[in-house]
Chain A
Amino acid sequence: MTTEMAEPASKIELPAGIGGGGEIPTFNITLRVRRYNPEVSEEPVWQDHQLTMYGTDRVLDALHKVKWEIDGSLSFRRSCAHGICGSDAMRINGRNRLACKTLLKDLDTSKPITVEPIKGLPVEKDLIVDMEPFFQSFREVMPFLINKGHEPTKERLQSVEDRERFDDTTKCILCAACTSSCPVFWTDGQYFGPAAIVNAHRFIFDSRDDAGDMRLEILNDKEGVWRCRTTFNCSEACPRGIQVTQAIAEVKQAILARKI
Protein backbone atom coordinates (compact mmCIF):
# COMPACT_ATOMS: atom_id res chain seq x y z
CA MET A 1 0.00 0.00 0.00
CA THR A 2 1.53 3.29 -1.02
CA THR A 3 0.24 6.79 -0.60
CA GLU A 4 1.24 9.60 -2.90
CA MET A 5 3.19 12.33 -1.16
CA ALA A 6 2.26 15.82 -2.28
CA GLU A 7 5.26 17.72 -3.70
CA PRO A 8 6.01 20.94 -1.82
CA ALA A 9 4.91 24.05 -3.68
CA SER A 10 8.48 25.36 -3.71
CA LYS A 11 9.75 22.41 -5.79
CA ILE A 12 11.68 23.51 -8.87
CA GLU A 13 12.25 21.17 -11.79
CA LEU A 14 15.93 21.23 -12.69
CA PRO A 15 16.95 20.20 -16.18
CA ALA A 16 19.37 17.29 -16.27
CA GLY A 17 23.00 18.31 -16.24
CA ILE A 18 22.62 21.31 -13.96
CA GLY A 19 24.28 21.46 -10.61
CA GLY A 20 27.26 19.22 -11.32
CA GLY A 21 29.39 20.73 -8.57
CA GLY A 22 28.86 17.97 -6.07
CA GLU A 23 28.75 15.06 -8.45
CA ILE A 24 30.10 11.85 -7.10
CA PRO A 25 31.57 9.43 -9.63
CA THR A 26 29.67 6.19 -10.12
CA PHE A 27 31.02 2.80 -11.07
CA ASN A 28 29.67 -0.68 -11.60
CA ILE A 29 30.43 -3.54 -9.29
CA THR A 30 29.58 -7.19 -9.05
CA LEU A 31 28.60 -8.11 -5.53
CA ARG A 32 28.99 -11.84 -4.91
CA VAL A 33 27.19 -12.80 -1.72
CA ARG A 34 27.27 -16.21 -0.11
CA ARG A 35 23.63 -17.05 0.50
CA TYR A 36 22.44 -19.71 2.87
CA ASN A 37 18.89 -20.52 3.80
CA PRO A 38 18.47 -23.79 5.71
CA GLU A 39 14.74 -23.79 4.90
CA VAL A 40 15.53 -24.00 1.18
CA SER A 41 18.80 -25.90 0.94
CA GLU A 42 21.53 -27.21 3.20
CA GLU A 43 24.09 -25.99 0.67
CA PRO A 44 25.14 -22.35 0.56
CA VAL A 45 25.19 -20.73 -2.89
CA TRP A 46 26.94 -17.73 -4.39
CA GLN A 47 24.64 -15.04 -5.72
CA ASP A 48 25.84 -12.25 -8.01
CA HIS A 49 24.35 -8.79 -8.29
CA GLN A 50 25.41 -6.11 -10.78
CA LEU A 51 25.14 -2.76 -9.07
CA THR A 52 25.90 0.84 -9.93
CA MET A 53 27.41 2.45 -6.86
CA TYR A 54 28.86 5.82 -5.89
CA GLY A 55 32.41 6.61 -4.90
CA THR A 56 31.31 7.34 -1.36
CA ASP A 57 29.51 4.01 -0.94
CA ARG A 58 30.58 1.25 1.38
CA VAL A 59 30.00 -2.48 1.10
CA LEU A 60 27.09 -1.98 3.49
CA ASP A 61 25.46 0.40 1.01
CA ALA A 62 25.73 -2.26 -1.69
CA LEU A 63 24.09 -4.79 0.64
CA HIS A 64 21.35 -2.25 1.42
CA LYS A 65 20.78 -1.70 -2.28
CA VAL A 66 20.35 -5.43 -2.81
CA LYS A 67 18.08 -5.86 0.19
CA TRP A 68 15.96 -2.77 -0.36
CA GLU A 69 15.69 -2.76 -4.14
CA ILE A 70 16.40 -6.21 -5.52
CA ASP A 71 16.04 -9.09 -3.07
CA GLY A 72 14.49 -8.47 0.32
CA SER A 73 15.32 -11.98 1.48
CA LEU A 74 19.02 -11.11 1.89
CA SER A 75 19.80 -11.23 5.61
CA PHE A 76 22.61 -9.48 7.45
CA ARG A 77 23.09 -7.65 10.72
CA ARG A 78 23.74 -3.97 10.98
CA SER A 79 22.71 -1.40 13.49
CA CYS A 80 24.52 1.93 13.64
CA ALA A 81 26.16 1.54 10.22
CA HIS A 82 29.07 3.72 11.37
CA GLY A 83 31.63 1.37 12.83
CA ILE A 84 30.59 1.66 16.46
CA CYS A 85 28.05 -1.07 17.18
CA GLY A 86 30.07 -3.94 15.74
CA SER A 87 27.13 -5.70 14.10
CA ASP A 88 28.23 -6.06 10.51
CA ALA A 89 31.52 -7.90 10.64
CA MET A 90 31.73 -10.11 7.56
CA ARG A 91 34.33 -11.59 5.26
CA ILE A 92 34.86 -9.19 2.38
CA ASN A 93 37.19 -10.42 -0.37
CA GLY A 94 38.41 -13.13 2.00
CA ARG A 95 39.21 -10.88 4.95
CA ASN A 96 37.19 -9.96 8.01
CA ARG A 97 36.02 -6.37 7.76
CA LEU A 98 33.12 -4.22 8.91
CA ALA A 99 30.84 -3.70 5.90
CA CYS A 100 30.13 -0.16 7.13
CA LYS A 101 33.83 0.80 7.19
CA THR A 102 34.90 -0.73 3.88
CA LEU A 103 34.64 1.69 0.97
CA LEU A 104 33.90 0.05 -2.36
CA LYS A 105 36.43 2.30 -4.11
CA ASP A 106 39.18 0.80 -1.95
CA LEU A 107 38.41 -2.67 -3.29
CA ASP A 108 39.24 -4.08 -6.72
CA THR A 109 35.98 -3.29 -8.52
CA SER A 110 37.11 -4.98 -11.74
CA LYS A 111 36.53 -8.33 -10.04
CA PRO A 112 33.46 -9.51 -8.13
CA ILE A 113 33.47 -8.42 -4.50
CA THR A 114 32.86 -11.52 -2.39
CA VAL A 115 30.93 -11.20 0.83
CA GLU A 116 30.68 -14.18 3.20
CA PRO A 117 29.72 -14.68 6.81
CA ILE A 118 32.55 -14.71 9.36
CA LYS A 119 34.15 -18.12 9.87
CA GLY A 120 34.07 -20.41 12.88
CA LEU A 121 30.61 -19.54 14.14
CA PRO A 122 27.48 -21.42 12.98
CA VAL A 123 25.75 -19.67 10.08
CA GLU A 124 22.05 -19.12 10.69
CA LYS A 125 21.06 -17.39 7.44
CA ASP A 126 23.08 -15.66 4.73
CA LEU A 127 25.52 -13.38 6.58
CA ILE A 128 24.07 -13.91 10.05
CA VAL A 129 25.97 -16.20 12.40
CA ASP A 130 25.17 -17.44 15.89
CA MET A 131 27.26 -15.18 18.13
CA GLU A 132 26.45 -17.06 21.34
CA PRO A 133 29.72 -19.08 21.56
CA PHE A 134 31.58 -15.80 21.09
CA PHE A 135 29.71 -14.00 23.87
CA GLN A 136 29.97 -17.06 26.11
CA SER A 137 33.79 -16.74 26.07
CA PHE A 138 33.45 -13.00 26.59
CA ARG A 139 31.34 -13.49 29.71
CA GLU A 140 33.74 -16.07 31.12
CA VAL A 141 36.58 -13.57 31.51
CA MET A 142 34.36 -11.36 33.72
CA PRO A 143 34.52 -8.21 31.59
CA PHE A 144 33.50 -5.81 34.35
CA LEU A 145 35.22 -3.92 37.17
CA ILE A 146 35.74 -5.94 40.33
CA ASN A 147 36.95 -3.85 43.25
CA LYS A 148 37.26 -5.15 46.79
CA GLY A 149 37.84 -1.78 48.42
CA HIS A 150 35.26 0.59 49.77
CA GLU A 151 32.97 2.28 47.32
CA PRO A 152 34.39 5.76 46.75
CA THR A 153 32.06 8.73 47.14
CA LYS A 154 33.25 10.19 43.84
CA GLU A 155 34.76 8.50 40.79
CA ARG A 156 37.68 6.06 41.07
CA LEU A 157 40.77 8.10 40.29
CA GLN A 158 43.55 6.82 38.08
CA SER A 159 46.74 8.36 36.81
CA VAL A 160 47.16 9.12 33.13
CA GLU A 161 49.92 6.49 32.95
CA ASP A 162 47.75 3.83 34.56
CA ARG A 163 44.93 4.63 32.15
CA GLU A 164 47.30 4.51 29.21
CA ARG A 165 48.38 0.98 30.13
CA PHE A 166 45.17 -0.62 28.81
CA ASP A 167 43.99 2.11 26.47
CA ASP A 168 44.33 0.00 23.33
CA THR A 169 42.02 -2.76 24.55
CA THR A 170 39.25 -0.37 25.62
CA LYS A 171 38.46 0.20 21.95
CA CYS A 172 36.87 -3.22 21.37
CA ILE A 173 33.34 -3.16 19.92
CA LEU A 174 32.79 -6.95 20.10
CA CYS A 175 32.26 -7.37 16.37
CA ALA A 176 34.00 -10.79 16.41
CA ALA A 177 36.16 -9.92 13.40
CA CYS A 178 39.27 -10.97 15.35
CA THR A 179 37.96 -14.18 16.89
CA SER A 180 36.47 -15.38 13.60
CA SER A 181 39.72 -14.64 11.73
CA CYS A 182 41.70 -16.94 14.01
CA PRO A 183 42.69 -20.30 12.43
CA VAL A 184 42.86 -21.82 15.92
CA PHE A 185 39.28 -20.75 16.67
CA TRP A 186 38.01 -22.20 13.35
CA THR A 187 39.12 -25.68 14.33
CA ASP A 188 38.82 -25.42 18.12
CA GLY A 189 35.62 -23.69 19.14
CA GLN A 190 36.57 -24.11 22.80
CA TYR A 191 39.41 -21.59 22.48
CA PHE A 192 38.53 -18.33 24.24
CA GLY A 193 39.48 -16.38 21.14
CA PRO A 194 41.19 -13.02 20.74
CA ALA A 195 38.17 -10.85 21.66
CA ALA A 196 37.69 -12.46 25.08
CA ILE A 197 41.42 -12.10 25.82
CA VAL A 198 41.39 -8.46 24.69
CA ASN A 199 38.52 -7.74 27.08
CA ALA A 200 40.27 -9.59 29.88
CA HIS A 201 43.40 -7.53 29.15
CA ARG A 202 41.33 -4.36 29.51
CA PHE A 203 40.64 -5.22 33.18
CA ILE A 204 43.79 -7.19 34.06
CA PHE A 205 45.92 -4.09 33.42
CA ASP A 206 43.44 -1.66 34.98
CA SER A 207 44.93 -0.35 38.24
CA ARG A 208 41.40 0.05 39.72
CA ASP A 209 40.55 -3.62 39.25
CA ASP A 210 41.32 -6.27 41.88
CA ALA A 211 40.43 -9.46 40.02
CA GLY A 212 43.38 -9.60 37.61
CA ASP A 213 44.66 -12.81 39.19
CA MET A 214 41.30 -14.49 38.75
CA ARG A 215 41.21 -13.57 35.09
CA LEU A 216 44.79 -14.72 34.57
CA GLU A 217 43.82 -18.02 36.19
CA ILE A 218 40.86 -18.38 33.81
CA LEU A 219 43.08 -17.66 30.80
CA ASN A 220 45.91 -19.92 32.03
CA ASP A 221 43.90 -22.79 30.62
CA LYS A 222 44.51 -25.31 27.87
CA GLU A 223 41.92 -23.38 25.86
CA GLY A 224 43.17 -20.01 27.08
CA VAL A 225 46.00 -17.76 25.89
CA TRP A 226 48.32 -20.68 25.21
CA ARG A 227 46.19 -21.69 22.22
CA CYS A 228 47.34 -18.51 20.48
CA ARG A 229 49.72 -19.36 17.62
CA THR A 230 50.52 -15.73 16.74
CA THR A 231 49.16 -15.78 13.19
CA PHE A 232 48.34 -12.04 13.52
CA ASN A 233 45.06 -12.50 11.62
CA CYS A 234 43.24 -10.89 14.55
CA SER A 235 45.46 -7.80 14.54
CA GLU A 236 44.94 -7.45 10.77
CA ALA A 237 41.18 -7.92 11.07
CA CYS A 238 40.42 -5.56 13.95
CA PRO A 239 38.40 -2.63 12.58
CA ARG A 240 39.43 -0.57 15.63
CA GLY A 241 43.13 -1.12 15.05
CA ILE A 242 43.69 -2.88 18.36
CA GLN A 243 47.05 -4.65 18.49
CA VAL A 244 45.34 -7.89 19.47
CA THR A 245 48.32 -10.24 19.25
CA GLN A 246 50.35 -7.79 21.30
CA ALA A 247 47.62 -7.78 23.98
CA ILE A 248 47.53 -11.59 24.04
CA ALA A 249 51.33 -11.68 24.37
CA GLU A 250 51.09 -9.29 27.34
CA VAL A 251 48.56 -11.56 29.05
CA LYS A 252 50.85 -14.56 28.41
CA GLN A 253 53.75 -12.68 29.99
CA ALA A 254 51.58 -11.59 32.94
CA ILE A 255 50.67 -15.23 33.63
CA LEU A 256 54.33 -16.27 33.53
CA ALA A 257 55.47 -13.34 35.68
CA ARG A 258 52.79 -14.10 38.27
CA LYS A 259 53.89 -17.72 38.58
CA ILE A 260 57.49 -16.89 39.42
Chain B
Amino acid sequence: MPTKPAGTLYRGREGMWSWVGHRITGVVIFFFLLVHVLDTSLVRVSPEAYTAVIGAYKNPLMALGETGLVAAIVFHAFNGLRVIAIDFWKKGAKYQRQMLWTVLVLWLVVFGAFAIRHLSLALGGH
Protein backbone atom coordinates (compact mmCIF):
# COMPACT_ATOMS: atom_id res chain seq x y z
CA MET B 1 0.00 0.00 0.00
CA PRO B 2 1.71 3.21 -1.10
CA THR B 3 1.42 5.90 1.49
CA LYS B 4 1.86 9.45 0.33
CA PRO B 5 0.17 11.95 2.58
CA ALA B 6 0.28 14.77 0.07
CA GLY B 7 -2.63 14.99 -2.33
CA THR B 8 -2.14 15.34 -6.04
CA LEU B 9 -1.96 18.64 -7.85
CA TYR B 10 -5.27 19.75 -9.36
CA ARG B 11 -5.07 19.10 -13.08
CA GLY B 12 -6.39 22.39 -14.33
CA ARG B 13 -6.17 23.31 -17.97
CA GLU B 14 -4.96 26.39 -19.88
CA GLY B 15 -7.08 28.78 -17.83
CA MET B 16 -5.61 27.68 -14.52
CA TRP B 17 -2.00 27.62 -15.70
CA SER B 18 -2.30 31.05 -17.31
CA TRP B 19 -3.58 32.28 -13.94
CA VAL B 20 -0.62 30.67 -12.16
CA GLY B 21 1.71 32.32 -14.69
CA HIS B 22 -0.03 35.65 -14.20
CA ARG B 23 0.41 35.41 -10.42
CA ILE B 24 4.07 34.44 -10.56
CA THR B 25 4.98 37.12 -13.12
CA GLY B 26 3.00 39.63 -11.06
CA VAL B 27 5.04 38.87 -7.93
CA VAL B 28 8.28 38.97 -9.93
CA ILE B 29 7.38 42.39 -11.34
CA PHE B 30 6.41 43.62 -7.87
CA PHE B 31 9.85 42.76 -6.47
CA PHE B 32 11.55 44.37 -9.44
CA LEU B 33 9.54 47.56 -8.91
CA LEU B 34 10.51 47.56 -5.24
CA VAL B 35 14.21 47.45 -6.11
CA HIS B 36 13.68 49.84 -9.02
CA VAL B 37 12.06 52.49 -6.82
CA LEU B 38 14.92 52.13 -4.34
CA ASP B 39 17.74 52.44 -6.91
CA THR B 40 16.05 55.29 -8.74
CA SER B 41 15.51 57.20 -5.51
CA LEU B 42 19.29 57.10 -5.01
CA VAL B 43 19.44 60.03 -7.46
CA ARG B 44 18.13 62.20 -4.68
CA VAL B 45 20.87 60.94 -2.35
CA SER B 46 23.65 61.64 -4.83
CA PRO B 47 23.97 61.22 -8.59
CA GLU B 48 27.33 59.48 -8.05
CA ALA B 49 25.75 56.81 -5.86
CA TYR B 50 23.05 56.29 -8.47
CA THR B 51 25.58 55.94 -11.27
CA ALA B 52 27.62 53.50 -9.21
CA VAL B 53 24.62 51.28 -8.46
CA ILE B 54 23.30 51.34 -12.03
CA GLY B 55 26.83 50.64 -13.26
CA ALA B 56 26.93 47.54 -11.05
CA TYR B 57 24.00 46.16 -13.05
CA LYS B 58 26.16 45.93 -16.14
CA ASN B 59 27.13 42.30 -15.89
CA PRO B 60 25.97 39.10 -17.63
CA LEU B 61 24.02 37.87 -14.62
CA MET B 62 21.92 41.03 -14.50
CA ALA B 63 21.51 40.85 -18.28
CA LEU B 64 19.91 37.44 -17.86
CA GLY B 65 17.79 38.81 -15.02
CA GLU B 66 16.63 41.68 -17.21
CA THR B 67 15.74 39.22 -19.95
CA GLY B 68 13.65 37.25 -17.45
CA LEU B 69 12.03 40.45 -16.25
CA VAL B 70 11.01 41.44 -19.77
CA ALA B 71 9.66 37.92 -20.32
CA ALA B 72 7.53 38.31 -17.19
CA ILE B 73 6.31 41.81 -18.08
CA VAL B 74 5.41 40.93 -21.66
CA PHE B 75 3.40 37.88 -20.52
CA HIS B 76 1.72 39.78 -17.72
CA ALA B 77 0.80 42.64 -20.05
CA PHE B 78 -0.71 40.55 -22.84
CA ASN B 79 -2.42 38.10 -20.49
CA GLY B 80 -3.76 41.05 -18.52
CA LEU B 81 -5.47 42.27 -21.69
CA ARG B 82 -6.89 38.76 -22.11
CA VAL B 83 -8.26 38.79 -18.56
CA ILE B 84 -9.87 42.18 -19.18
CA ALA B 85 -11.42 40.82 -22.38
CA ILE B 86 -12.82 37.82 -20.48
CA ASP B 87 -14.50 40.15 -18.00
CA PHE B 88 -15.75 42.83 -20.37
CA TRP B 89 -16.10 41.33 -23.83
CA LYS B 90 -19.30 39.35 -24.22
CA LYS B 91 -17.62 36.47 -26.01
CA GLY B 92 -14.46 36.69 -23.91
CA ALA B 93 -15.15 33.58 -21.85
CA LYS B 94 -15.94 31.58 -24.96
CA TYR B 95 -12.73 32.48 -26.73
CA GLN B 96 -10.42 32.51 -23.69
CA ARG B 97 -8.35 29.58 -24.98
CA GLN B 98 -7.82 31.09 -28.42
CA MET B 99 -6.92 34.36 -26.74
CA LEU B 100 -4.34 32.57 -24.58
CA TRP B 101 -2.67 31.12 -27.68
CA THR B 102 -2.64 34.61 -29.17
CA VAL B 103 -1.02 35.88 -25.98
CA LEU B 104 1.66 33.20 -26.18
CA VAL B 105 2.38 33.90 -29.86
CA LEU B 106 2.65 37.63 -29.18
CA TRP B 107 4.83 36.88 -26.17
CA LEU B 108 7.15 34.74 -28.26
CA VAL B 109 7.48 37.39 -30.98
CA VAL B 110 8.02 40.36 -28.65
CA PHE B 111 10.19 38.58 -26.12
CA GLY B 112 12.17 36.75 -28.78
CA ALA B 113 13.01 39.99 -30.57
CA PHE B 114 14.02 41.64 -27.32
CA ALA B 115 16.08 38.67 -26.11
CA ILE B 116 18.09 38.47 -29.33
CA ARG B 117 18.92 42.16 -29.29
CA HIS B 118 19.44 42.52 -25.56
CA LEU B 119 21.58 39.43 -25.04
CA SER B 120 23.74 40.08 -28.11
CA LEU B 121 24.40 43.62 -26.86
CA ALA B 122 24.93 42.61 -23.23
CA LEU B 123 26.94 39.46 -23.74
CA GLY B 124 28.38 40.04 -27.21
CA GLY B 125 31.21 42.23 -26.03
CA HIS B 126 31.52 45.99 -25.95
> What is A's interface to B at a CB cutoff of 8 Å?
32, 34, 43-48, 91, 93-95, 114, 116, 119, 181, 183, 229-233, 235-236, 243, 245-246, 249, 252-253
Contacts and interface: CB of A to CB of B under 8 A. Distances in A.
B16 A232 contact: yes
Given A94-B9, A249-B86, A252-B87, A48 B15 contact: no
Contact of A233 (B4, B8, B10, B93): B10
Contacts of B94: 243, 246
Given A34-B7, A48-B2, A94-B10, A233 B87 contact: no
18 contacts: A32-B2, A45-B5, A46-B1, A46-B4, A93-B11, A95-B10, A95-B11, A116-B8, A183-B16, A230-B83, A230-B93, A231-B16, A232-B13, A232-B93, A235-B15, A236-B12, A245-B96, A246-B94
B5 A43 contact: yes
A231 B86 contact: no
Contacts of B11: 93-95
Given A95-B11, A116-B8, A48 B87 contact: no
Interface residues of B, number: 25
B46 interface: no
A44 B3 CA distance: 8
Contact of A249 (B3, B14, B92): B92
B19 interface: yes
B104 to A, nearest CB: 16
Contact of A231 (B3, B9, B19, B92): B19
A243 B93 contact: yes
A183 B9 CA distance: 11
B7 A236 contact: no
Nearest to A244: B93
Contacts of A252: 87
Contacts, number: 82
B1 A45 contact: yes
Nearest to B18: A231
B5 A44 contact: yes
Given A46-B3, A95-B11, A116-B8, A229 B88 contact: no
Given A245-B93, A246-B94, A231 B15 contact: yes
Given A231-B18, A233-B12, A246-B94, 5 more contacts: A34-B7, A43-B5, A95-B11, A230-B87, A232-B96
In the A-B complex, the 4 residue pairs with the closest CB atoms: A232-B15, A94-B11, A246-B93, A231-B19
Nearest to A256: B88
Interface string B84-116: 001110001110100000000000000000000
B2 A181 contact: no
A230 B96 contact: yes
A243 B97 CA distance: 14
Give the residue among B7, B19, B88, B96 with the most A Cβ atoms within 10 A.
Answer: B7
A116 B7 contact: yes
Contact of B15 (A47, A236, A253): A236
Nearest to A93: B11
Interface in B22-49: none
A115 to B, nearest CB: 10
Contacts of B10: 91, 94-95, 119, 181, 183, 233
A233 B3 contact: no
Contacts of B1: 45-48
